[in-house]
């Protein structure tokens, strides 16, 4: 049962860090930008009214409904079926991030984004702690599934009977 406490702590921790960071951004950074590491990292206030990376901006209720269903399904799967520790942590990160962004959508009508990683020209998106938790959680989940597949393949290979030695005479009799 310790795993339940740890899983809930990860979810609550992600939500708390996400919401506290957004409250600080709303209080101190509203419609402004702070350069943290020139040419690499800024804090830039953005109101994201869409889904990931601002896509599909005018569909708030669609995101609320799909987020609720998605979080509920992942939560059910997490607490009912998942046994591997890395999968538990990864799904807890996803659930915590999803709830963090849902709180913004309900409370503000948009998601507060502020982490502006500008080191690469191809990267143009501003994100938040909840987004980072979801992405890291998804990557860790994929990693854990791959590790489980490799372990299962090794077990299957070890359990397979060794090929029979060929008769050196090659005949039947």
Identify which has the larger pLDDT, 1 or 99: 99
Residue 109 reports pLDDT greater than 80: yes
Which of the following is catalytic: 113, 116, 121, 144? 113
Q: How much is the pLDDT for 43?
A: 94
Q: How much is the pLDDT for 31?
A: 74
Q: How much is the pLDDT for 57?
A: 63
Contacts 24+ apart (CB under 8 A), 104-109: 104/22, 105/60, 105/63, 105/64, 105/67, 106/64, 108/47, 109/49, 109/60
- 113 a catalytic residue: yes
Least trusted range by pLDDT, from 74-78, 121-125, 129-133: 121-125
* Angle made by CA atoms 25, 11, 133, in degrees to the nearest 5: 55
Q: How much is the pLDDT for 167?
A: 54
Residue 30 CB partners (closer than 8 Å, separation 6+): 45
User: pLDDT tier at 6 (50, 70, 90 boundaries)?
Assistant: very high
* Angle made by CA atoms 39, 42, 45, in degrees to the nearest 5: 145
What's the pLDDT tens digit per position in 21-31?
999 999 998 77
Residue 74 reports pLDDT greater than 80: yes
Residue 116 CB partners (closer than 8 Å, separation 6+): 33, 41, 42, 43, 44, 46, 126
- 131 a catalytic residue: yes
Domain residue ranges of the chain, discontinuous segments joined by +: 2-157
User: pLDDT tier at 7 (50, 70, 90 boundaries)?
Assistant: very high
> Average per-residue pLDDT in the chain?
88
Quote the pTM value: 0.85
Residue 166 reports pLDDT greater than 60: no
Which of the following is catalytic: 18, 104, 116, 131? 131
């Amino acid at each position: 049962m310790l795993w339940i406490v740890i899983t809930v702590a990860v979810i609550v921790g992600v939500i708390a860090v996400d919401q506290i960071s957004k409250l600080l951004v709303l209080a101190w950074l509203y419609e402004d930008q702070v350069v943290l590491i020139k040419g690499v990292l800024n804090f830039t206030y953005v109101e994201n009214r869409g889904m990931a990376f601002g896509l599909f901006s005018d569909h708030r209720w669609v995101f609320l409904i799909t987020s609720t269903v998605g979080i509920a399904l992942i939560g059910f799967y997490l607490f009912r079926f998942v046994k591997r520790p890395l999968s538990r942590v990864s799904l807890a990160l996803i659930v915590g991030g999803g709830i963090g962004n849902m709180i913004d959508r309900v409370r503000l009508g948009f998601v507060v984004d502020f982490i502006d990683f500008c080191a690469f020209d191809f990267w143009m998106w501003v994100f938040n702690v909840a987004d980072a938790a979801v992405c890291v959680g998804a990557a860790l989940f994929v990693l854990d599934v791959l590790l489980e597949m490799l372990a299962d393949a090794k077990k299957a290979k070890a359990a397979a009977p060794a090929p029979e030695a060929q008769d050196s005479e090659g005949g039947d009799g």
